Amino acid sequence: MTHPEFLWRNPDPKPAYDVVIVGGGGHGLATAYYLARNHGITNVAVLEKGWLAGGNVARNTTIIRSNYLWDESAAIYEHSLKLWEGLSAELDYDLQFSQRGVLNLAHNLGDVREGRRRVNANRLNGVDAEWLDADEVKKFCPIINVSGRARYPVMGATLQRRGGIAKHDHVAWALARKADAYGIDLIQGCEVTGFEITGSRVTAVETSRGRIAAGKVALASAGHTSVLAERAGIRLPLQSHPLQALVSELLEPLLDCVVMSNAVHVYVSQAHKGELVMGAGIDAYNSYGQRGGIHVIEAQMAAALELFPIFSRVRVLRTWAGIVDVSPDASPIIGRTPVDGFYINAGWGTGGFKATPGSGWVYAHTIAEGTPHPLAEPFALDRFTTGALIDEHGAAAVAH
Ligand SMILES: Cc1cc2nc3c(=O)[nH]c(=O)nc-3n(C[C@H](O)[C@H](O)[C@H](O)COP(=O)(O)OP(=O)(O)OC[C@H]3O[C@@H](n4cnc5c(N)ncnc54)[C@H](O)[C@@H]3O)c2cc1C
């Protein structure tokens, strides 16, 4: 693979675009790419207030899976997983996508029932899923402590073998390079500060680099979506929280799968470079500061040590946080809004990295056609008034 000197140009904004995407994270870049690739729409700008891939796309723990409970979720996340399976080749960039298997541990009867039910639901939806008992868990991941004397003994686990991890910054850079090659303008250091709405239609965005006219405006701004939507007069049912993660010092290979536990509350994988990558739940308060409380990290470490006593002398190298946009049913919001030409893709909360290609695909379709992609339709904003919620708290509880 040969790289040009730069992966993308650094253009100045033009006065007008057919589509303006707000947010240069994974979802914004994937949407731009699929607008060009699938719909031939290239007069597009992605406006990013900071630098490309400085947000959650490069702050997440990169867990990829599709084993969600409800039909609507399984369909969209499985669509995404299938795209991941061909994405390195398609983007001509090694995304280090590694389908090493994701375990969701069960520590009590409630977990066991939920896990078994989800395995059955997944299989009915064509999503690969297995139930492992404690011995099988130990065989699959020998360093897990499955002792019956543990505070929360391991009673079994769901396993999705096709799940795994990828290298997040490569994902963003690869999508950016392809979008740029289609002629899409990726504009960094350009904060959207407001929207011009004429009648019921959005006609332009106001930015720190001036007014930019837009045929359509599409938010892909993750933790800042509710703030931006409010500037267009739309109130969204989203809460923004810090979500922290950490990495250890570099270690020899010792963990070749992804392990998640809702009950002790941690998820762990080992990145290609050798560091253990860990995360847990959100910090409970609302915030836009990309940092969090040390007590959350302490709880996450305690959980990790309970599952993996072998980590007891490993040192933490670095911790950080991203701001995640959490919806009331732990499912995303994708689609049109009451303002014509103004679209949202948000609410992916703690688990949207895995959806990056699938989300971009359905969002691009929704923007291009002006009607929701069939996979996106159930995730419309109006479900919070119709009551047709897609409650994924069980599958998304510990995040991811
Ligand atoms: C610690 C952590 C761990 C996670 N782990 C996982 C995981 O293991 N698996 C998983 O599937 N998901 C995970 N997630 C969730 C996942 O990262 C997000 O759901 C997903 O990245 C959100 O989409 P994005 O990549 O487009 O967001 P971002 O990369 O945050 O992109 C949004 C962009 O919008 C920009 N922006 C905001 N306001 C403006 C404005 N006014 N003008 C211009 N630009 C603006 C921001 O600067 C940002 O770059 C995790 C998140 C965090 C924080």
The pLDDT assigned to 225 comes to: 98
Whole-number Å distance, alpha carbon 60 to ligand 1 midpoint, is 8
Smallest CA separation from ligand 1 atom 33, residue? 23
242 confidence band (pLDDT: 50, 70, 90): very high
4 confidence band (pLDDT: 50, 70, 90): low
- pLDDT tens per residue across span 97-107: 999 999 999 99
Q: Mean pLDDT across the stretch 211-217?
A: 98
11 and 187 in contact (C-beta within 8 Å)?
A: yes
- pLDDT tens per residue across span 25-34: 999 999 999 9
- pLDDT tens per residue across span 291-301: 999 999 999 99
User: Ligand 1 within 6 A of 77 CB?
Assistant: no
Residue 219 predicted with pLDDT over 50: yes
Residues in the chain: 400
For residues 264 and 365, give the distance between their C-alpha atoms in angstroms, rounded to a whole number: 40
Q: What percentage of residues in the chain have a pLDDT greater than 70?
A: 98
Whole-number Å distance, alpha carbon 46 to ligand 1 midpoint, is 15
For residues 293 and 314, give the distance between their C-alpha atoms in angstroms, rounded to a whole number: 21
- pLDDT tens per residue across span 339-379: 999 999 999 999 999 999 999 999 999 999 999 999 999 99
356 and 171 in contact (C-beta within 8 Å)?
A: yes
User: Ligand 1 within 6 A of 290 CB?
Assistant: no
User: Ligand 1 within 6 A of 191 CB?
Assistant: yes
The pLDDT assigned to 177 comes to: 97
13 confidence band (pLDDT: 50, 70, 90): very high
Between the alpha carbon of residue 317 and those of residues 95, 228, 242, 270, the distances in Å are 23, 34, 19, 14
Smallest CA separation from ligand 1 atom 18, residue? 352
User: Ligand 1 within 6 A of 79 CB?
Assistant: no
Shortest-distance atom of ligand 1 to CA 324: 53
The pLDDT assigned to 391 comes to: 94
User: Ligand 1 within 6 A of 155 CB?
Assistant: no
For residue 396, give both structure tokens. 């998304």
Between the alpha carbon of residue 147 and those of residues 174, 260, 357, the distances in Å are 43, 17, 39
Residue 280 predicted with pLDDT over 90: no
The pTM (predicted TM-score) of the whole model is 0.97
At 101, the amino acid letter reads G
Q: Using the Cα atoms of residue 377, residue 170, residue 82 and residue 269 in order, give the sign of their dihedral.
A: negative
User: Ligand 1 within 6 A of 245 CB?
Assistant: yes
Q: Mean pLDDT across the stretch 297-310?
A: 94
2 confidence band (pLDDT: 50, 70, 90): very low
Average pLDDT, the chain: 96
For residues 389 and 151, give the distance between their C-alpha atoms in angstroms, rounded to a whole number: 35
User: Ligand 1 within 6 A of 352 CB?
Assistant: yes
Whole-number Å distance, alpha carbon 55 to ligand 1 midpoint, is 5
398 and 354 in contact (C-beta within 8 Å)?
A: no
Smallest CA separation from ligand 1 atom 51, residue? 60
Nearest to 32 by CA among 182, 216, 228: 182
For residues 347 and 55, give the distance between their C-alpha atoms in angstroms, rounded to a whole number: 15
Residue 20 predicted with pLDDT over 50: yes
User: Ligand 1 within 6 A of 351 CB?
Assistant: yes
Whole-number Å distance, alpha carbon 221 to ligand 1 midpoint, is 7
User: Ligand 1 within 6 A of 337 CB?
Assistant: no
Q: What percentage of residues in the chain have a pLDDT greater than 90?
A: 94
User: Ligand 1 within 6 A of 47 CB?
Assistant: yes
The pLDDT assigned to 1 comes to: 43
394 confidence band (pLDDT: 50, 70, 90): confident
Residue 308 predicted with pLDDT over 60: yes
- The Cβ-side half-sphere exposure at 239, using a 13 Å CA radius, reads 14
For residues 94 and 63, give the distance between their C-alpha atoms in angstroms, rounded to a whole number: 17
End-to-end Cα separation, the chain, in angstroms: 32
Which string of DSSP letters, residue by residue, matches 83-131? HHHHHHHHHTS----B---EEEEE-SHHHHHHHHHHHHHHHHTT---EE
398 confidence band (pLDDT: 50, 70, 90): low
Q: Using the Cα atoms of residue 398, residue 261, residue 167 and residue 178 in order, give the sign of their dihedral.
A: negative
